[in-house]
Amino acid sequence: MSFEKLGVMKPLLGAINDLGYKKPTIIQTRAIPLVLGKSDIFATAQTGTGKTAAFGLPMIQRLRKNEKDSSRPIRGMILSPTRELSMQIFEDMQNFAKYMDVKIALLVGGKDLESQQKILKEGVDIVIATPGRMLEHAESGVSLKGVEIFVLDEADRMLDMGFVKEIRKIHPILPKKHQSLLFSATYSEKVRKLSKLLLRSPAFIETAKKNTTVDTINQKVYLVDKERKAELLAYIIGSRNFRQVLVFTRTKASADELVIELKKDGLKCGIIHGDKTQANRSKTLMQFKEEKIKVLVATDIASRGLDIEHLPYVINYELPSIPEDYVHRVGRTGRAGRNGEAISLIDIYEKYDIKEIEKLIGIKIPQESVKGFEPDPTIRRKDVQDIKLKSEHAKTKKKFTKAKESKKVTAKSLKKAKNSESQRTGKKRRTTKRDGN
């Protein structure tokens, strides 16, 4: 199947040819005809499978300017959870639309609201925004009455970050008749409930099993004591000559501490997290893409917004607090069918976390130790008593539930109980007409 056979028009074919697109991915093959056909979509697809082109190409094709018109209302809106992801989508959409008359605007925090309003007044076809900033514009008078296509990208992450209130406020402002497209890397009950609110008779697209990682990513776990994690990380990067590696930490404080340690080992590092300004984050990301810095340390704020071509390595310095975030982190490598490697450094306190992740993605991740960095077998968890109590509580609860279920009273069980009682007392139960005698 080619992009042309999917119904993509020539100017777009020229643009994606310039970008090196050869054949459509599974999500693109299934989504593009549906978007062109004006169907609502609920799509779950792994990170790195080409979701932006899946909704972006048909969206641009449908919203292209056919006639000269002084008024240019917003006809397409794409919401994403982070500035970084919004910026990446904006860049991709600009590249797709370079041979077409489609105006696209980026609306994210960290930028002046008035300057963005000025751009909107000049006329824009498609806006790409974070939920908070889009709501600010809507409440300041920006009209969304002309929106024909509404896209919610990375819906699961958006809910995790607490944007459900903004989405619930924006959705009623949109016209009753519009097309909604919901894309999510993982599937959860919260995402399902949101889909019921936003979508009408949607086509469901599932390109892989729920909450799985792509097959092109080689995943492994290294066991190490917490105090030696930074040392092991520097050793892995240096001894294996990793030219470009993305490292994830759980907290901003941990990211700051790690960068200091890595710099002591002579590694060129950059850092991205919520306390950094947008200008600083953009500059650091550009340096990483250009390979001016070898290591980029980031918190989960960046796990959905980074798109580095041919990124070979992702390392989890600390496992995420939410198992689903593991899928998003490792999805930064192994993109578009390329091979990638995802390494997780886990200490004694993270052994339970990795089990939850394995349960989620449905595979057992190989575990090993690096020679010279083997964990100290004498170290024990300080909270082992709490873990034991939780385990005992869970067993008791399960036992109680089973016992409760077994005590369900039915007509059959009642009759059996009466017969056993008669046998015990030696008295024969009096028969009635109902007994058939």
Q: Are residues 270 and 311 in the same domain?
A: yes
pLDDT at 204: 92
pLDDT at 347: 93
In the listed set 152, 187, 206, which residue is the last one of a domain according to the structure? 206
In the listed set 368, 399, 416, which residue is the last one of a domain according to the structure? 368
Map the chain to HEC letters: CCCCCCCCCHHHHHHHHHCCCCCCCHHHHHHHHHHHCCCCEEEECCCCCCHHHHHHHHHHHHHCCCCCCCCCCCCEEEECCCHHHHHHHHHHHHHHCCCCCCCEEEECCCCCHHHHHHHHHCCCCEEEECHHHHHHHHHCCCCCCCCCEEEECCHHHHHHCCCHHHHHHHHHHCCCCCEEEEEECCCCHHHHHHHHHHCCCCEEEECCCCCCCCCCEEEEEEECCHHHHHHHHHHHHHHCCCCCEEEECCCHHHHHHHHHHHHHCCCCEEEECCCCCHHHHHHHHHHHHCCCCCEEEECHHHCCCCCCCCCCEEEECCCCCCHHHHHHHHCCCCHHHCCEEEEEEECHHHHHHHHHHHHHHCCCCCEECCCCCCCCCCCCCCCHHHHHHHHHHHHHHHHHHHHHHHCCCCHHHHHHHHHHHHHHHCCCCCCCHHHCC
pLDDT at 387: 47
In the listed set 368, 398, 418, which residue is the last one of a domain according to the structure? 368
Per the structure, the complete domain to which residue 239 belongs is given by 217-368
Give how many domains the chain has, as a whole number.
3
Q: Are residues 64 and 142 in the same domain?
A: yes
Per-residue pLDDT of the chain (437 residues; tens, 9 = 90+): 799 999 999 999 999 999 989 899 989 999 999 999 999 999 987 767 788 999 999 999 999 865 555 568 999 999 998 888 898 899 999 999 999 999 999 999 878 889 999 999 999 999 999 999 999 999 999 999 999 999 999 888 888 888 999 999 999 999 999 999 999 877 778 888 999 999 999 999 987 555 566 677 899 999 999 999 999 999 999 999 998 999 999 999 999 999 999 999 999 999 988 788 778 888 888 898 888 999 999 988 655 556 677 788 999 999 998 888 888 888 888 776 678 899 999 998 898 899 999 988 888 999 999 999 999 888 776 655 554 455 555 555 555 555 555 555 556 666 666 666 556 555 555 555 444 44
pLDDT at 436: 47
Global pTM reads 0.66
Q: Are residues 165 and 36 in the same domain?
A: yes
In a domain, 314, yes or no: yes
CATH number for 265: 3.40.50.300
